[in-house]
């Protein structure tokens, strides 16, 4: 009996790995349907004491290049953020050249939520296990590279739509830092800061459209010039 | 071979500037003084006798004319270059004694020998000799403020003689002394002149000094009035 | 004779010479006390900076100083242990300490602040003794997640010893990491700006947080600061793949203080010098005026102008030497008294506690004080001496 179960288990594993990768691939396809696109983002940040709202245009190409154009509030208008795979730059109209943001600086403020929002599950993570909970797959993901922001993610995926419903983000030490809830086929994302309970950020996506974004747009020297 | 005259003045003129006015002190003075003489320059104050003595003493320069001291024409030589001549050839005695107050009698007399770089032994011998000559062997260590007027003048005389000069100039040497002391000083000076053959030139209005002089040069208003040989040489 | 004359003339007018001597002595004493205070300050600041914070030498991985590190510990010492062994063989070395500096965010659950942490070996850090523990205790030897927190930071995070905080930073690879830490103690180093941001943590904890086994640098402490350059050269010959910095390159504040104090004391020195010059020149000038007739007599007798100048300069030199020696004695005596007294000074800029006034007596300072007195007095006598030698004999003789 034990031998049979053992042999079955041996067959089961590879099957699960394939399935998990497939699920992940579908997740990313659902989240990033267009290879070159633009989208409007409205971000609301809530804490125990205050609420703040901002608006952006985001231009993306592939899964690893995007530019965030600040639209509102008025104080932020005119700024641009260039997010590449392993570097982030900010351009402000008052400065003559764009400023590189170090990984450490990305810990602070909304840049950290940016990291969460654009997480590329299929490209950056390897699934280690899949479980089933009702209509949801629960995947455990491990970062492929030690330079990836969050070392581990636990992802809940809707079986029918392949849209993620929730993601828990863990750092190297195993501490749970952020939790994201996905609604409306990904049109609304709510991120909780678990180190500061009560602090939430909500991002609403609208007007997702295909757009021809040329490669050279995603260089730091073109920031602010197009 | 040295000439017979130790001093020669030829057409010497000297005037001073007093504010904007030029005051003539000596006009066209021509005279010679032979070696070994004991001469008085007599005249009222302001007559120019001090000026004449200053010119002879090479501490002042004439405006015109020629001066020869001990066969040296000092006319073209600037005053500060005549220091050696003054040191070696001349001796000075002042009305106000002019001793150096921080030095003892011995050291005052020694001073010119130090300027001449004389050896210590030689210096000591000469200083003691001359202080002995002026009668101050007991007062070697005294400072001027511990000596009487007469004693100070004696120190001055020893100082003037210690370099064995050819010519000693004395401006009113007895004016600050009482008559007794003055007489003793005069005796001393005459005796030294007789013994050493050193020429002595005084400026004075002391009648007794004038009486003791061999020759008297009378000056008035800057001109030599009269050169009188008071007694035979 | 020149010396005899000079000394006797100095003593001639006792009162005037005394006043001049007082001025010279004042100048010398000022130089000795100020110079000694400055020397002590420099020495104290230097030693406390070295022994408490930067060490005599710091050893880095080659290339650390020139590169722009985008990630922490991009240039790190990976063979610190072997380097240490080599270094500690030199008898001039007292001890070594490994360190990592890192920054990140610290959070108490409600808010985050930036922190700058020095990760240390707890036993070595205790020997360096740079901070004052105001609450709790020092870093324990075997608890990698216990930290010390600066006083200002403790206040803004509302924590006391025994409470917990979370430190967040990026690992050497670039991913995020967070660690819960226990507050072992609260400290201050006397500088507010530092206390508002500072954290001290065990190097083992930092290595876990940064996900590395390397260290950023090795601090080397010597027995004598004077050995620094020689030891530096010795290390350069024996160690490879490293770059070494001397304490002098790592102590900008010390150099700023040195520059500032030297500027101030230089200015004071000039003022003192000017006062002494005028006083001595005045004294000798008055002496010349009083002795006009005497000068005339000397010149009439055949004293050359040069000799006359030498006479007066000799007086200046005499006053200078007497004043210099007296100044040394009095200055030295005062310094001794001060050092045994208990004069307290206010805190220097940036610090929060005062300290006891001490005068360091270095041969250089004493020699300078003497030389300045001597040279100043000599120089001051030159103009009066020139004046004396240019007197006209006739006028001088006729002077009252």
Q: Would you state the structure tokens that stand for residue C114, as one six-digit string? A: 């930036």
Q: Are residues C198 and C229 in the same domain?
A: yes
pLDDT attached to residue B229: 60
Q: Considering CB atoms only, which of B60, B87, B101 is closest to C302?
A: B87
Residues 17-46 of A with CB under 8 A from C: none
Query: Are B92 and C297 within 8 A, CB to CB?
Result: yes
Please name the residues in contact with A22: beta carbons below 8 A apart, sequence gap of 6 or more. Answer: none
Of the candidates C294, C303, C394, the beta carbon closest to that of B115 is on C303
pLDDT in tens, chain C (400 residues): 677 888 888 888 788 888 888 988 988 898 899 888 888 889 888 988 898 889 999 999 888 777 666 566 777 888 888 899 999 999 999 999 999 999 999 999 888 889 999 999 999 998 888 888 999 999 999 999 999 999 999 999 999 999 999 999 988 888 889 999 999 999 998 788 889 999 999 999 999 999 999 999 999 999 999 999 999 999 988 888 889 999 999 999 899 999 999 999 889 888 888 888 888 888 888 888 889 999 999 999 999 999 999 988 888 888 889 989 999 999 989 988 988 887 888 776 666 677 778 888 888 888 888 888 888 888 888 988 999 989 888 888 887 6
Does residue C356 fall inside a structural domain? Answer: yes
Residues C228 and C264 in one domain: no
Per the structure, the complete domain to which residue C348 belongs is given by: 2-49+254-398
Inter-chain touch C109–A195, beta carbons under 8 Å: yes
pLDDT reported for residue C129: 82
Q: Residue A205 burial (CB < 10 Å; 0-12/13-18/19+)?
A: middle
Chain B residues with CB inside 8 Å of C305's CB? 80, 83
Q: Any bridge partners for residue B175, and if so which? A: none
Q: How far apart are CA B198 and CA B167, in angstroms?
A: 6
Highest mean pLDDT among A38-52, A118-132, B201-215, C197-211: C197-211
Instruction: Supply the pLDDT for residue C329.
Output: 93
Residue B20 placed within a domain: no
Nearest CA-CA partner of C101 in C82, C127, C81, C75: C75
Q: Are A204 and A196 in contact (CB under 8 A)?
A: no
pLDDT greater than 50 at residue A139: yes
pLDDT in tens, B120-152: 999 999 999 999 989 899 888 999 999 998 899
From B57, B98, B111, residue closest to C293, measured CB to CB = B98
Cα-based distances in Å from C233 to C225, C227, C237: 14, 10, 6
Nearest CA in chain A to C176: A149
Number of domains making up chain C: 2
Contacts C116 to A, Cβ<8 Å: none
Range of the domain at B221: 37-59+78-229
Chains with at least 3 CB pairs less than 8 angstroms from chain A: C
Do the domain assignments include residue C246? no
Q: Are A82 and A223 in contact (CB under 8 A)?
A: yes
Contact C297 B98 (CB under 8 A): yes
C284 and C166 both lie in a single domain? no
For residue A10, the model assigns a pLDDT of 47
Residue B153, domain member (yes or no): yes
Verify that C227 and C314 share a domain, yes or no.
Answer: no
CB pairs under 8 A between A and C: 79
* C1:B102 CB<8 A: no
pLDDT given for residue A13 in this prediction = 46
| Mutate: best of A50, A89, A104, partner C, most C CBs <10 A | A104
Rounded distance between C-alpha atoms, residue C328 and residue C338, angstroms: 15
> With 80 as the cut, is the pLDDT of residue B47 above it?
no
ipTM, 2 decimals?
0.90
Q: Do the domain assignments include residue B207?
A: yes
Q: How many structural domains does chain B have?
A: 1
- Quick check: C300 contacting B, CB < 8 Å? yes
Give, in degrees to the nearest 5, the angle at Cα A219 between A215 and A222: 100
Q: What is the pLDDT of residue B232?
A: 39
The answer to whether the beta carbons of residues B106 and B142 sit under 8 Å apart is no
Distance CA C58, CA B115 (A): 69
Torsion of CA B65, B67, B68, B70, to 10 degrees: 170
Torsion of CA B132, B136, B139, B145, to 10 degrees: -140
Interstrand relation of B199-204 and B167-171 (parallel, antiparallel or unpaired): parallel
- Read off the pTM: 0.69
In terms of C-beta density within 10 A (0-12 exposed, 13-18 middle, 19 or more buried), how is residue C90 classed?
middle
Tell me, yes or no, whether B151 lies in a domain: yes
Cβ contact C302–B60 (<8 Å): no
* C211 to A146: CB separation less than 8 angstroms, yes or no: yes
Q: Same domain for C228 and C260?
A: no
Beta strands in C108-172 (DSSP E): 112-120, 132-136, 146-150, 164-170
Q: Is residue B170 part of a domain?
A: yes
Category of B19 on φ-ψ map: left (φ > 0), alpha (ψ -120 to 50) or beta: left
B148 in a structural domain: yes
Q: Closest residue of A to C180, CA-based?
A: A175
- Per the CB < 8 A criterion, the answer to whether A73 and A54 are in contact is yes
> Chain C interface, mutation test: which of B56, B59, B91, B141, most C Cβ atoms within 10 Å?
B59
Whether the CB of C13 is below 8 Å from some CB of chain B: the reply is: no
Residue spans of alpha helices (H) in chain A? 2-31, 111-117, 121-124
Host H or E run for residue A127:
strand A125-133
- C286 and C362 belong to one structural domain: yes
C387 and C338 share a domain?
yes
Contact B90, B58 (CB under 8 A): yes
The whole-angstrom distance between A144's CA and the closest CA on chain C is 11
Selected residue with higher pLDDT from A96 and B118: B118
- Residues of chain B whose C-beta is under 8 A from some C-beta in C? 54, 57, 59-60, 79-80, 83-88, 90, 92, 94, 96, 98, 100-103, 111-112, 114-115, 159
Q: Would B196 be classed as within a structural domain? A: yes
Neighbours of chain B (3+ CB pairs under 8 A): C
- Asked, for residue C24, whether it belongs to a domain, the answer is yes
Flag whether C368 is in a domain: yes
Tell me the average pLDDT across B215-220: 85
CATH code of the domain containing B117: 3.40.50.300
A and B interact (at least 3 Cβ pairs within 8 A): no
pLDDT (0 to 100) of residue A14: 44
pLDDT tens digits, one per residue of A105-133: 776 667 778 778 778 888 889 999 888 88
Distance (Å) of CA C11 to CA B208, C5, C7: 42, 10, 6
Chain C residues whose CB is inside 8 A of the A172 CB are: 171, 175-177, 211
Decide if C146 is inside a domain: yes
Residue of B62, A162, A16 whose CA lies nearest to C394:
B62
Q: Mark which residues 72-131 of A lie under 8 Å from C by CB.
A: 86, 100, 102-104, 106-108
Examine the domain organization and report whether C106 and C6 are in the same domain: no
C22 vs chain B: nearest CA distance in angstroms?
Answer: 23
User: Looking at domain A2-222, which CATH architecture does it have?
Assistant: Clam (2.50)
* C95 and C67 in a common domain: yes
Domain shared by C230 and C258, yes or no:
no
CB C97 within 8 A of CB C125: yes
Using the Cβ of C132 and the Cβ atoms of chain B, whether some distance falls under 8 Å is answered with no
Q: Say how many CB pairs under 8 Å bridge B and C.
A: 59
Same structural domain for residues C95 and C191?
yes
Within a domain: B24: no
- Most A CBs within 10 A among C178, C179, C206, C212, hence the mutation to make, goes to C178
């Amino acid at each position: 009996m034990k031998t049979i179960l053992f042999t079955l288990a041996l067959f089961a594993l590879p099957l699960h790995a394939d399935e998990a990768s497939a699920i992940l691939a579908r997740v990313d396809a659902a989240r990033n349907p267009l290879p070159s696109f633009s989208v409007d983002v409205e971000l609301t940040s809530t804490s125990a004491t205050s609420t703040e709202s901002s608006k952006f245009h985001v231009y993306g190409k592939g899964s690893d290049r995007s530019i965030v154009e600040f639209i509102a509030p008025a104080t932020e208008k005119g700024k641009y953020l260039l997010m590449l795979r392993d570097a982030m730059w900010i351009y402000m109209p008052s400065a003559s050249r764009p400023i590189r943001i170090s990984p450490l600086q990305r810990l602070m403020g909304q840049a950290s939520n940016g990291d969460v929002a654009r997480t590329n599950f299929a490209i950056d993570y390897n699934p280690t296990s899949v479980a089933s909970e009702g209509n949801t797959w629960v995947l455990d993901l491990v970062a492929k590279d030690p330079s990836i922001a969050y070392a581990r993610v636990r992802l809940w995926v809707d079986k029918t739509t392949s849209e993620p419903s929730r993601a828990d983000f863990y750092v190297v030490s195993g501490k749970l830092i952020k939790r994201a809830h996905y609604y409306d086929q990904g049109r609304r994302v709510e991120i909780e800061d678990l180190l500061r309970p009560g602090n939430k950020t909500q991002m609403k996506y609208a007007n997702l459209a295909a757009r021809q974004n040329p490669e050279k747009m995603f260089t730091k020297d073109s920031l602010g010039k197009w | 071979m040295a000439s017979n005259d130790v001093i020669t003045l030829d057409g010497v003129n000297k005037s001073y500037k007093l504010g904007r006015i030029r005051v003539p002190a000596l006009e066209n003075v021509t005279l010679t003084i032979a070696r070994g003489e004991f001469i008085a320059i007599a005249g009222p104050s302001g007559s120019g006798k001090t000026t004449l003595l200053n010119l002879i003493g090479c501490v002042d320069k004439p405006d015109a004319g020629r001066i020869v001291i001990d066969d040296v024409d000092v006319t073209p030589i600037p005053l500060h270059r005549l220091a050696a001549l003054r040191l070696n050839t001349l001796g000075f005695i002042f009305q106000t004694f002019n001793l150096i107050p921080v030095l003892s009698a011995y050291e005052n007399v020694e001073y010119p020998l130090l300027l001449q770089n004389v050896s210590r032994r030689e210096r000591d011998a000469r200083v003691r000799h001359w202080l002995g000559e002026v009668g101050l062997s007991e007062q070697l260590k005294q400072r001027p403020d511990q000596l009487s007027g007469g004693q100070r003048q004696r120190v001055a005389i020893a100082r003037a003689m210690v370099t064995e000069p050819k010519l000693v100039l004395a401006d009113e040497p007895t004016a600050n002394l009482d008559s007794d002391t003055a007489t003793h000083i005069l005796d001393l000076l005459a005796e030294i002149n007789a013994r050493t053959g050193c020429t002595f030139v005084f400026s004075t209005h002391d009648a007794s000094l004038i009486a003791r002089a061999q020759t008297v040069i009378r000056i008035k208003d800057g001109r030599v009035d009269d050169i009188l040989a008071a007694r035979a040489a | 004779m020149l010396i005899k004359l000079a000394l006797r003339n100095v003593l001639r007018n006792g009162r005037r010479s005394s006043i001049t001597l007082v001025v010279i002595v004042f100048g010398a004493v000022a130089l000795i006390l100020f110079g000694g205070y400055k020397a002590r300050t420099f020495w104290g600041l230097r030693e406390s900076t070295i022994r408490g914070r930067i060490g005599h030498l710091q050893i880095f991985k080659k290339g650390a100083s020139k590169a722009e590190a985008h990630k922490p510990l991009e240039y790190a010492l990976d063979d610190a242990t072997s380097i240490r062994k080599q270094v500690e063989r030199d008898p001039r070395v007292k001890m070594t300490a490994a360190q990592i500096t890192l920054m990140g965010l610290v959070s108490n659950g409600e808010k985050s602040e930036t922190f700058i942490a020095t990760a240390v070996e707890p036993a070595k850090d205790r020997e360096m003794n740079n901070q004052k523990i105001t609450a709790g205790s020092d870093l324990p030897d075997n608890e990698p997640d216990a930290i010390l927190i600066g006083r200002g930071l403790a206040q803004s995070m509302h924590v006391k010893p025994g409470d917990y905080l979370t430190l967040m930073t990026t690992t050497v690879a670039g991913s995020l990491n967070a660690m819960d830490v226990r507050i072992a103690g609260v400290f201050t180093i006397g500088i507010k700006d530092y206390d508002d941001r500072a954290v001290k943590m065990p190097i083992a904890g930092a290595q876990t947080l940064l996900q590395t086994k390397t260290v950023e640098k090795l601090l080397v402490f010597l027995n004598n600061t004077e050995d620094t350059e020689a030891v530096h050269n010795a290390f350069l010959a024996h160690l490879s793949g490293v770059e070494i910095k001397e304490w002098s390159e790592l102590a900008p504040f010390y150099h700023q203080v040195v520059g500032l104090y030297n500027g101030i004391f230089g200015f004071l020195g000039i003022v003192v010098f000017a006062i002494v010059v005028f006083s001595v020149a005045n004294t000798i000038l008055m002496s010349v005026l009083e002795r006009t007739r005497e000068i005339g007599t000397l010149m009439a007798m055949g004293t050359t102008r040069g000799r006359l100048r030498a006479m007066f300069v000799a007086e200046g030199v005499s006053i200078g030497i007497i004043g210099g020696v007296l100044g040394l004695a009095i200055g030295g005596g005062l310094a001794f008294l001060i050092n045994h007294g208990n004069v307290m000074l206010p805190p220097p800029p940036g610090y929060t506690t005062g300290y006891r006034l001490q005068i360091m007596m270095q041969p250089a300072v004493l020699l300078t004080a003497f030389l300045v007195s001597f040279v100043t007095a000599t120089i001051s006598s030159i103009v009066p001496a020139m004046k004396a030698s240019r007197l006209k004999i006739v006028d001088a003789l006729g002077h009252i």
